[in-house]
């Protein structure tokens, strides 16, 4: 049913030619990330994704995770696949070597994670949440917490969760009410209910380490009174042995549109004697720690948009090459494969071009993340961090919206068969629908982008990105031929659009925050489209250089130039209209009083 082949050629091209794997491998601590090792890792990951995870993607969707008597049973095959996943060491790929991880760059783990997500997004959420919890404990946990939890979690024997949302609060963490009551021994008892907890309960691991936001007595109101606690499913003694069952239970799971194999749990903490937890870091600083995790998680969800777009593309492409129906509109003796129909090609190219653009931008951001943490020069660390901070909401928001668009197109390519669940195309669309919502909706990403990332610094970082894009534009100008002329023209319009929109935001945010906020999502989409087009233009330039250097025998390079050309005329062409909406869209959106809706 499900088949997936990791797009290794494009992944390696982006890693090496666009994201700068060589430079990342020169950073202190990443000396092991040689081209040979990275190639071997990606090969093995591709085999695992295609051979173990993809085959249980559709069956996992149909069967779903099931709940009974406070326990969750995973669909057939998941427990065994997770055992293999952990034993092969995939869980610790980018984790600290001090606790058993392999310490590879985020750039490499991004490519590997793309594969897990594309092959089986429901499965991939378990290690994703575990990684988030590992990151929080690595950065903020006490020595004792680290010693107790990290080796088992990095080895994948225990998994992790993030417990933020409460029924009354949704995305508004200021409204969190879960209580943490200090005990004489220095621990806390946690009381409260959390919802939407991914893999809050399951049968694939020996223990589950919950990270929980809660309030201590007399904590300040709002987000300044939130603390972070670690609450294990089974208590762990000083020798690391599992002890008694903690008072943290899954009381139900949600019946969802998609990701059916990923249990979304309602968690009850302290319904009986109180759930035992220990404080992570300092009291009332929980939100800060959560944001550390959240930025990593937001980037990862952006990768999910890319991954589901790629998976939907592969499925639609296979169908379009196989399905024979109708004559060629330009004339043919008999019926032809539907890929021959111009509109089907258009849809496939939209899927291909945008998947490649999302990959190029995401990996480039991952490489900047590695440099932001590991570069020896402080100024370069700062510059890279500023680029990462600006781009995280774009990667999250744009890639997830685009991933949904691609999954929608994937159904359309299948025609009537796309609407039949057995085909599997509809699953990508259902699964993708959560991506623009969890880890902060697109609206929340966009507010972060225009507020914290642009207005607060007067647009400094976005201006530096615009300057980089103009360098690419100048290089395009030196190329010959229609394709590069079209790419150059479209990118130039795109840059002007981003520039005008960012100027508007920086100039009016303080005086008209509601009006400017109307343009937040259109601006986020504009940024994604243009930055994606920038990366496609860079890819076309590299490809042209390869051809000029005598590597024209590999048709990949000519295809990349055509794909960048397509992107310019079919995707970048939306930039000017989006900038108009950012600059002029406030009045129409805000003028209507609420009772007139």
Separation between Cα atoms, residue 576 and residue 581, nearest integer Å: 9
Decide if residue 412 touches a second copy (CB under 8 A): yes
Q: Phi, psi (5° rounding) for residue 586?
A: -70, -45
Residue 211 · residue 280 · CB < 8 Å: yes
Q: What is the DSSP string of 129-141?
A: HHHHHHHHHHHH-
Candidates 235-243, 244-252, 357-365, 405-413 — which segment interacts with a second copy by CB under 8 A? 405-413
Q: Which residue from 96, 254, 283, 285 is in contact with a second copy, where contact means CB under 8 A?
A: 254
Separation between Cα atoms, residue 261 and residue 264, nearest integer Å: 9
Separation between Cα atoms, residue 407 and residue 427, nearest integer Å: 9
Residue 39 or 343: the one with the smaller Cβ distance to a second copy is 343
Q: Which residue from 113, 399, 447, 535 is in contact with a second copy, where contact means CB under 8 A?
A: 447
CB of 62 to a second copy, least distance (A): 9
CB of 169 to a second copy, least distance (A): 7
Q: What is the DSSP string of 193-235?
A: EEEEEETSS-SSSSEEEEEEEEB-TTPPSGGGG-EEEEEESEE
Within residues 289-328, the interface with a second copy by CB under 8 A covers 317, 321, 323, 325-328
Decide if residue 429 touches a second copy (CB under 8 A): yes
Q: Which residue from 343, 377, 471, 477 is in contact with a second copy, where contact means CB under 8 A?
A: 343
Q: Which residues are catalytic?
A: 439
Q: Is 366 exposed, middle or buried (0-12, 13-18, 19+ CB in 10 A)?
A: buried
Q: Which residue from 150, 518, 527, 531 is in contact with a second copy, where contact means CB under 8 A?
A: 518
Separation between Cα atoms, residue 4 and residue 115, nearest integer Å: 9
Decide if residue 225 touches a second copy (CB under 8 A): no
Instruction: Specify which residues 232 forms β-bridges with.
Output: 209
CB of 420 to a second copy, least distance (A): 5
Separation between Cα atoms, residue 19 and residue 324, nearest integer Å: 39
x-or-dash pattern for a second copy, window 144-173, by CB under 8 A? ---------------------x---xxxx-
Residue 384 or 445: the one with the smaller Cβ distance to a second copy is 445
Decide if residue 103 touches a second copy (CB under 8 A): no
Q: Which residue from 81, 93, 462, 578 is in contact with a second copy, where contact means CB under 8 A?
A: 578
Residue 256: left (phi > 0), alpha (psi -120 to 50), or beta? Answer: beta
Decide if residue 443 touches a second copy (CB under 8 A): yes
Residue 95 or 582: the one with the smaller Cβ distance to a second copy is 582
CB of 519 to a second copy, least distance (A): 9
Candidates 44-52, 131-139, 291-299, 569-577 — which segment interacts with a second copy by CB under 8 A? 569-577
Decide if residue 569 touches a second copy (CB under 8 A): yes
Q: What does DSSP say about strands 207-214 and 158-163: parallel, antiparallel, or unpaired?
A: parallel
Q: Which of 186, 106, 68 is nearest to 373 (CA)?
A: 106
Decide if residue 546 touches a second copy (CB under 8 A): no
Q: Which residue from 28, 217, 416, 553 is in contact with a second copy, where contact means CB under 8 A?
A: 416
Decide if residue 345 touches a second copy (CB under 8 A): yes
Decide if residue 196 touches a second copy (CB under 8 A): yes
Q: Which of 342, 350, 344, 356 is nearest to 318 (CA)?
A: 344
Separation between Cα atoms, residue 463 and residue 495, nearest integer Å: 10
Q: Which residue from 340, 359, 375, 488 is in contact with a second copy, where contact means CB under 8 A?
A: 340
Q: Which of 97, 15, 25, 87 is nearest to 52 (CA)?
A: 87
């Amino acid at each position: 049913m499900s088949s997936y082949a990791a797009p290794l050629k494009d992944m390696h091209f982006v890693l090496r030619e666009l994201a700068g794997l060589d430079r990342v491998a020169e950073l202190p601590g990443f000396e092991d990330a040689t081209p040979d090792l990275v190639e071997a890792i990606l090969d093995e990951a591709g085999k695992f994704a295609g051979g173990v995870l993809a085959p249980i993607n559709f069956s996992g969707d149909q069967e779903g995770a099931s709940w009974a008597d406070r326990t969750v049973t995973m669909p057939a095959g998941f427990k065994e696949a997770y055992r293999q996943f952990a034993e092969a060491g995939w869980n610790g790929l980018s984790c600290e070597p001090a606790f058993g991880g392999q310490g590879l760059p985020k750039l490499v783990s991004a490519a590997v994670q793309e594969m897990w997500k594309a092959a089986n997004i429901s499965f991939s959420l378990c290690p994703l949440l575990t990684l988030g919890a590992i990151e929080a404990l690595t950065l903020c946990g006490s020595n004792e917490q680290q010693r107790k939890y990290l080796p088992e979690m990095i080895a994948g024997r225990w998994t992790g969760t993030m417990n933020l949302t409460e029924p009354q609060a949704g995305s508004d963490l200021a409204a969190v009410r879960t209580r943490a009551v200090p005990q004489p021994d220095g621990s806390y008892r946690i009381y409260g209910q959390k919802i939407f907890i991914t893999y809050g309960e399951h049968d694939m691991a020996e223990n589950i380490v919950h990270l929980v936001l809660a309030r201590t007595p007399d904590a300040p109101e709002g987000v300044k009174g939130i603390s972070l606690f670690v609450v294990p499913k089974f208590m762990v003694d000083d020798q690391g042995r599992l002890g008694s069952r903690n008072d943290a239970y899954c009381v139900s799971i949600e019946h969802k549109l998609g990701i059916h194999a990923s249990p979304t749990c309602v968690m009850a903490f302290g319904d009986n004697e109180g759930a035992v937890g220990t404080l992570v870091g300092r009291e009332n600083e929980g939100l800060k720690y959560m944001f550390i995790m959240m930025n990593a998680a937001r980037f990862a969800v952006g990768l999910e948009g890319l991954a589901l777009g790629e998976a939907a593309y592969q499925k639609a492409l296979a169908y379009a090459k196989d399905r024979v129906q109708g004559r060629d509109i330009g004339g043919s003796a008999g019926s032809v494969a539907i890929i021959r129909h111009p509109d089907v090609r258009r849809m496939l190219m939209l899927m291909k071009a945008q998947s490649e653009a999302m990959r190029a931008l995401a990996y480039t951001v991952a490489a900047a993340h590695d440099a932001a943490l590991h570069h020896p020069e402080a100024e370069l660390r700062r510059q890279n961090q500023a680029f990462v901070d600006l781009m995280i909401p774009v990667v999250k928001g744009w890639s997830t919206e685009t991933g949904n668009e691609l999954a929608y197109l994937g159904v359309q390519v299948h025609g009537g068969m796309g609407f039949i669940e057995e085909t599997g195309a509809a699953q990508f669309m259902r699964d993708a629908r959560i991506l623009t919502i969890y880890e902060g909706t697109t609206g929340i990403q966009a507010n972060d982008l225009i507020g914290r990332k642009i207005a607060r610094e007067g647009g400094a970082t976005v201006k530096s990105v615009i300057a980089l894009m103009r360098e690419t534009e100048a290089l395009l100008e030196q190329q010959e031929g229609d394709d590069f002329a079209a790419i150059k023209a479209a990118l130039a319009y795109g840059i002007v659009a981003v520039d005008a929109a960012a100027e508007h935001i920086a100039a009016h945010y303080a005086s008209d925050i509601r009006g400017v906020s109307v343009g937040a999502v259109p601006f986020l989409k504009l940024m994604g489209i243009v930055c994606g087009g920038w990366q496609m233009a860079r890819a076309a330039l590299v490809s042209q250089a390869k051809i000029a250097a005598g590597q024209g025998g590999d048709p990949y390079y000519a295809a990349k130039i055509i794909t960048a050309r397509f992107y310019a005329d079919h995707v970048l062409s939306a930039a000017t209209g989006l900038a108009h909406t950012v600059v002029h869209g406030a009045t129409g959106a805000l003028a209507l009083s609420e009772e007139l809706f």
